[in-house]
Structure formats: C-alpha cells, structure tokens
Structure 1
Amino acid sequence: MTASPTFRHAVPADAVRCFEIETAAYEGDEAATLEKIATRIAQYPEGFLILEAEGGIAGFINSGCAFEVVMSDEAFKELIGHDPVAPNVVIMSVVIDPAEQGKGYSKLLMQRFIRDMREAGKKSIHLMCKEQHVALYAKMGYRYTQPSASDHGGVAWHEMVMDL
C-alpha cells in the first residue's frame, strides 16, 4: 500500500525539481522559467503548495495575490504587483508530473490549496486554463468568467474564478 500524499510549502531548494515538472507538463513557451519559479518561491512561499508522494515532489500549485486581478498581466507572473495581504489569489501553475498523472493528485492538491486560501482569509481564487480543462475546474467549484485576453505561450486561455 502506498502512503498518502503530503503537502508543504515550497523552499528555495525545490525550484529545480518544480522547473523540471513544469517543463515536462507544459508545452513550449507555456512553462515558467527556472528564474520565475525561484522568484515565486522566494516571494510567496505561502502560495506555493507542493504535493509529495513516494518521497518526492509529484506536483504543485503556485500563485500570487492582487487587489485588482488582470489575468492577462504577464508581469504578474514574475510577481510584479503581488501583495501577500491582497484578498484575491491568482494561480499561475497547477502541475502534476506527467509520470504521476491519473492518480487524483490534481484534485487533492486543489482541495488543499482552496482550504489553505480560505483559512488565510482570501476572498477569491482566479486561474486561466485551456478549454479542455474548463469542465474539470467547474467540477472543483470554479465559475467560468470569459475567454482571456492573454495569449501566453501562443495558446487560447479561459478565465475562471472561485469565490471563497
């Protein structure tokens, strides 16, 4: 029997492994650079949740907080404009190592992230996803808002929000 996954906040030493997972799971320019991941860990570890399974990092969610959410703001991906006390959370990546997919980890990770953000007193969680993931996030409690103005990575994105 395998052990249940565990959760923790990221530390700087996690950046390289998270970058490996990010580049394995996202196509081309969609993946964050190692520098962006390291910045997100350094500036907002409370919003960088790691799921560990079988003794290693299997996936993560990273985010920042804003008073006014503009999902197409590319600078925010480097946490420019991030304020940890702001009430609105913006998810930048939800990633499970391709070798670990199909085990229900993304749902467990999102449930824990939502719980943590609720406990932190946040008011909403925003994310962008590809069309094929809209139904998945809707099942998790997100509401579709609009097609995104972002063309990050040359892909069409859709904006969703959850009120906490």
Structure 2
Amino acid sequence: MQIRTATIDDLAAIAAVESECFPPAEAATAEEFKERLEHYANHFWLMFDNDKLIAFVDGFCTDIPNLTDEMYAKAEMHNEDGKWQMIFGVNTLPSYRNHGYAGELIQAAIADAKSHGRSGLVLTCKDKLIKYYSKFGFVNEGISESVHGNVTWYQMRLTL
C-alpha cells in the first residue's frame, strides 16, 4: 500500500470512493471535491493498492476551533497556517475495511499536523465510532453543531 497526497487528477477516484462509503445525503459531490482539491489537495491523504484508490482522509486547516457545516461547503475557508486540522472524511472501500488502512491514514494526518506545528485535529463522527477515534487520542466533546446529512454527529478533538 502506498500513501500520498492528492492532485486534481485524483478527483474521479476520490468521488467514487466517497460515494461507496457514505449515503447520498452525507457524501460530498465531485464538484465539492474539485473545489477542495483546488484549495487544499495537500490535505488529502490517499492510500493506493497498486493503482487503485482504496482509502482517503481529507480536511482543511483553520483557526476556527470547532467543525461547522459551512466548512464542508466552502473550501476557500482553508487557511494553510491554521491552528486546527479539520478532518471531513475518513473513507475506506468496504472490501478493504478492517485491515488498519484508515488508521494508517489518520496517523499520517496526525504526523502532518504535528510537523506543521498545529494545535490539533478535529473531526465529527457517529456515536458508534467514538471508541474507534479515541484509540488515536481523540476526545469526545459531545454533540457537534453539525447537522450534515440530518445525522447526529459527535465532535472529537486531538490536542497536540
């Protein structure tokens, strides 16, 4: 397995993986990913099995400490010098799950945030994943203000 950051050439593969991992109400569109890649492709961590994209983690940087729904829609809010690395998605194709690939990508995002002197990382997740993200040091801060996809999300923070 190989890990690298994204380029605009990865757009179709990223959108395809996202559509397999999230229901339509929660999945980002190809157009949203295009904007994200134009603003912060270096904050997409991609994992490949040979030439096949099997998993990715993405998100942008900001000085705003809490993840909001506005952030998903406005890629231009990215601040390369921001204190917080937001994580918008952790995606692994169903046939590749339970092998630790997502964890490797999360560790890559954490290492990148540390190397850039960020304060930490923030993500939201469903209640069934709180224990999973806790293994990486993320702390549950309670129900998020995000109502993305009409789902109850919990905000998790890893302070570096």
Question: Paired residue for 2:154?
Answer: 158
Residue 20 of structure 2 aligns to which amino acid in structure 1? A
Residue 101 of structure 1 aligns to which amino acid in structure 2? R
CA distance in 2, matches of 1:71, 1:87: 13
2:44 corresponds to 1:43: no
Q: Provide TM-score, normalisation by structure 1.
A: 0.92
Q: Provide TM-score, normalisation by structure 2.
A: 0.94
Contact in 2 for aligned 1:40/1:48 (Cα 8 Å): no
2:73 corresponds to 1:67: no
CA distance in 1, matches of 2:28, 2:131: 24
Q: Secondary structure at the match of 1:68?
A: coil
Question: Paired residue for 1:76?
Answer: 71
Question: What is the identity percentage for the equivalent residue pairs of Structure 1 and Structure 2?
Answer: 25
Gaps of 5+ in 2: none
Structure 1 residue 46, shift from structure 2 partner = 1.7
CA distance in 2, matches of 1:71, 1:121: 19
Give RMSD over aligned pairs.
1.2
Contact in 2 for aligned 1:40/1:62 (Cα 8 Å): no
What's the CA shift string for 1:85-104, capped at 9, x where partnerless? 11111111110111211221
The one of 121, 126, 129 equivalent to 1:130 is: 126
Structure 1 residue 116, shift from structure 2 partner = 1.4
CA distance in 2, matches of 1:81, 1:107: 26
Report how many aligned residue pairs link the two structures. 159
Gaps of 5+ in 1: none
Contact in 2 for aligned 1:128/1:148 (Cα 8 Å): yes
